[in-house]
Homo-oligomer: A and B are copies of this chain.
């Protein structure tokens, strides 16, 4: 590796930032911004390989289809980044995911945990995700039932409707 220690620290910080942008786009439903996040030939393998996609366009189309509805309220939170630089322009990453999804259209609450395994490549001076995928530790599904949605980015402009 030709990178100095400072350059390595900066690279790890940039890679974390790409992941945060990816996750923000999912939960804010700004899927078009994902073009800057993936390499053109990126692959994704979600839910232990159940959902496999080749190519950035296919991944984004699938995410949009799967999570585009404003009735699907999601929180995808990744922590515990274990980023390894493989070369000056390649890296791997392991992340711990915890996600909560209120599917208000179907009246179910899905939550769970998983570990992501990613690969990153620096293309045109920018780190991007070239491979991503997660395997679930567990997933739980329950009726939304007695849970009321009291705020939504889309339906209430992000304001709570609970009276303080």
Give the size range of A's interface with the partner. Answer: 35 or more
- When distances are taken between beta carbons in the complex, the residues of chain B under 8 Å from A149 are 138-140
- When distances are taken between beta carbons in the complex, the residues of chain B under 8 Å from A111 are 100
Closest 9 CB pairs of A and B: A135-B158, A48-B158, A75-B113, A139-B151, A73-B138, A48-B159, A20-B80, A142-B147, A136-B151
Q: Given contacts A6-B6, A77-B79, A100-B98, is CB(A157)–CB(B138) below 8 Å?
A: no
- Tell me which of B5, B13, B139 contacts A162 (CB under 8 A): B139
CA distance A149 to B157 in the complex (A): 32
**B140–A147 touching, CB < 8 Å:** yes
CA distance A134 to B125 in the complex (A): 32
A68-83 CB contact bits vs B (8 Å, 1 = yes)?
A: 0000011101111110
